[in-house]
Amino acid sequence: MGLLSKKDTRLILDPLADNNPITIQVLGICSALAITAQLKASIVMAISVMAVLALGNVVISLMRNIIPSKIRIIVQLVVVAALVIIVDQILKAYSYQLSKTLSVFVGLIITNCIIMGRFEAFALGNSPWRSFLDGIGNAAGYGVILIIVGFFRELLGSGTLLGFQVLGDPINKTGLYAIGYENNGFMLLSPMALIVVGIIIWVQRSRNKALIEDH
Amino acid sequence: MALNTDKNSYTIIFSIIMVVVVGALLAFVAQGLKPTIKENQRIEIQQNILYAMGVNENEGDGDVTFVGADKIKDEFAKYVKKQLVIQGDQVTEDPNAYLIDLKKEENLAKDANYKRRLPLFVGEKDGKTFYIIPMRGKGLWDAIWGYVSVDDALVVQGVYLDHKGETPGLGAEIKQRYFMDDFQGEQIMSGSGEAFEGISVAKGNNDPLNKTKDDHEIDALAGATITGNGVTAMIKKDVRMYIPYLQSIKK
């Protein structure tokens, strides 16, 4: 037996497409709207969430038999808040510049409903190793959507990717701007993130009819 | 499972233990790392002050790189000639003026009898004198702060802006080069040079490259109106307090 059984592999691959946390489980929408105006911010957020979700899933999974069910949500909240604050403090002490970049994300990670959602739906009922894989998989699925949305919002809203002016200079009118193209400032605002996510959901469900819920 | 996790007594005991354990852990981590974090923050202030007067290690157009933490002690001593504390009419030199907490001073100043301490840094680079003014204000979500350096004629030579929690990609852009660099060359005094005017972050000033330097306006950031207004207000509020002193030494 290899490191990953077939079931384990599915834990990682499923959330990337058919069980995507954002487009199918509809978790973590708030942060997906807030920070996807730039590709770089999306990538940083994806990595941070992956670290916290994988670690938090393991901790919750280890404690799953002793957590009183009545207060399990509070326990989950305490675990994720404590984890995030400890990581933040360590970064502040040993990697100050990185912590400056991440500072705004810290609060967003704690309130990210993917984290609570996966603790509740998976880690409370599964072994630590499987929970770890589930954390990695779901964070990756979340990250993929974030990066797709960030890509389109930055490209169409600012005409840049990761800060590089890929479409030319909008002020000096070079590249695409020379023939009358304009950046769409609306792409920088949150409603457009929702519309982009909506388009992704539409594309995904029209390709895989099994995902459409009947009402 | 022998453990009955549904019992009320168990729930209460569990939560007490959890709170104690997590509380102790966080307190331990915070206390253990406090000196290192404090030191990092002290170095950062020095780096920010030097950045505002144009001492940095920027490479290329979009890069914001401070003087390295290993060299900061020497560089700070080399470029910052004097650190002043202005308190009413009194001006004293204080080698630790850069550690004055602007937020504390602002709160203390609510008491009318308290004479607010205003730190001012006098820098010198290539034979030119810089006066570096620290500022602190409010953005959309949380605090914003910065340093602005002016020369003898009260023309802005450089700024450094930072924030605690502005939206990434929008308000957080105030600490990007393309925004901060726009301030260079702007006047803070009105045309005749008598009255304080400040610099506004303005929408639709039709000057995205900021070629007009005497309009007291910087091109705003799309999607960051409140943060931009915060920067405007911060400059108006904090730089104003230094004008009497700066004008007195000009004469």
Distance from CA of A170 to the nearest CA of B (A): 10
User: What is residue B222's predicted lDDT score, i.e. its pLDDT?
Assistant: 82
Q: Select the residue from A49, A62, A66 to test the B interface by mutation, using most B Cβ atoms within 10 A.
A: A66
B94 Cα to chain A: minimum distance (Å): 27
Residue of B nearest to A187 (CA): B223
pTM for the whole structure = 0.71
> Given a cut of 80, is residue A6 above it in pLDDT?
no
Per-residue tokens: B21: 């354990």
Task: Kindly determine whether residue A104 and residue B223, on different chains, have CB atoms separated by under 8 Å.
Answer: no
| Residue-range domain boundaries for chain B | 45-250
Angle, CA A126 vertex, CA A205 and CA B6 arms, to 5°: 115
Q: Which of A92, A104, A188 sits opposite B222 (nearest CB)?
A: A188
Would you state the pLDDT for residue A45?
A: 82
What confidence score (pLDDT) does residue B159 get? Answer: 93
Is B170 in contact with A37 (Cβ distance < 8 A)?
yes
Q: Which amino acid is at A129?
A: W
Q: In which band, very low, low, confident or very high, does the pLDDT at A1 lie, cut at 50, 70 and 90?
A: very low
CB pairs under 8 A between A and B: 86
Residue A202 lies in a domain: no
Lowest mean pLDDT among A101-115, A178-192, B140-154: A101-115
Per-residue pLDDT, averaged over A53-66, amounts to 90
pLDDT > 90 in chain A, percent: 7
Mean pLDDT by groups of 10 residues along chain B of 251 residues: 74 91 93 91 91 84 80 88 87 87 88 87 89 92 92 90 84 87 87 80 79 83 89 92 85 61
Interface contact flag, A71 B11, Cβ < 8 Å? yes
Domain-embedded: residue A204: no
Q: How confident is the model at residue A215 (pLDDT cuts 50, 70, 90)?
A: low
pLDDT at A57: 92
User: Is the model's pLDDT at A56 over the cut of 50?
Assistant: yes
Q: Are B198 and A68 in contact (CB under 8 A)?
A: no
Whether residues A36 and B62 touch (CB distance < 8 A) is answered with: no
The reply to whether A163 falls in a domain is no
Cβ–Cβ gap A171/B15 under 8 Å = no
Contact list, B67 vs chain A (CB under 8 Å): none
Q: Which residue has the higher pLDDT, B228 or A37?
A: B228
CA-CA-CA-CA torsion sign (A86, A87, A88, A91): positive
Total of domains in chain A: 1
SS (H, E, C) chain A: CCCCCHHHHHHHHHHHCCCCCCCCCCCCHHHHHHCCCCHHHHHHHHHHHHHHHHHHHHHHHHCCCCCCHHHHHHHHHHHHHHHHHHHHHHHHHHCHHHHHHHHHHHHHHHCCHHHHHHHHHCHHHCCHHHHHHHHHHHHHHHHHHHHHHHHHHHHHHHCCECCECCCCCCCCCCHHHHHCCCCCHHHHCHHHHHHHHHHHHHHHHHHCHHHCCCC
Whether residue A139 contacts residue A44, with contact meaning beta carbons closer than 8 Å, is answered with: no
Q: Across the interface, do A65 and B25 touch by the CB < 8 Å criterion?
A: no
Please work out, in degrees rounded to the nearest 5, the angle formed at the alpha carbon of residue B221 by the alpha carbons of B47 and A156: 115
pLDDT at residue number B68? 82
CA B164, B168, B172, B176: dihedral to nearest 10 degrees? 130
Q: Could you report the per-residue pLDDT of B187-219, keeping only the tens digit for each? A: 888 877 678 888 888 887 777 777 777 788 888
Per-residue pLDDT at B2: 56
| Structural domain boundaries, residue A41 | 14-150
Residue A190 lies in a domain: no
Structure tokens of A61?
């999974």
B38–chain A Cβ distance below 8 A for any pair: no
Which residues between 40 and 79 in chain B have a beta carbon less than 8 angstroms from any beta carbon of chain A?
Answer: 40, 44, 62
Q: What number is the average pLDDT over the span A135-139? A: 90
Taking the C-alpha atoms of residue B192 and residue B181, their distance in angstroms, rounded to an integer, is: 25
Write out pLDDT tens, residues A23-35.
Answer: 887 777 877 887 7
Task: Please tell me which residue, A90 or B119, carries the higher pLDDT value.
Answer: B119
Least CB-CB distance to A38: which of B19, B168, B222? B168
- Please report, to the nearest 10 degrees, the dihedral formed by the alpha carbons of residues A146, A152, A154, A159 taken in order: 160
pLDDT at A2 over 60: no
Scan for tokens 């059984």, then name that residue: A5
Note whether residue A20 is domain-resident. yes
**Bridge partners (DSSP) listed for residue B82:** B122
Using the beta-carbon criterion (under 8 Å), do B168 and A37 form an inter-chain contact?
yes
Among chain A, residues having any CB pair with chain B shorter than 8 Å are 34-38, 41, 65-71, 74-75, 78, 82, 85-86, 89-90, 92-94, 96, 103-105, 107, 154, 163, 171, 185, 188-189
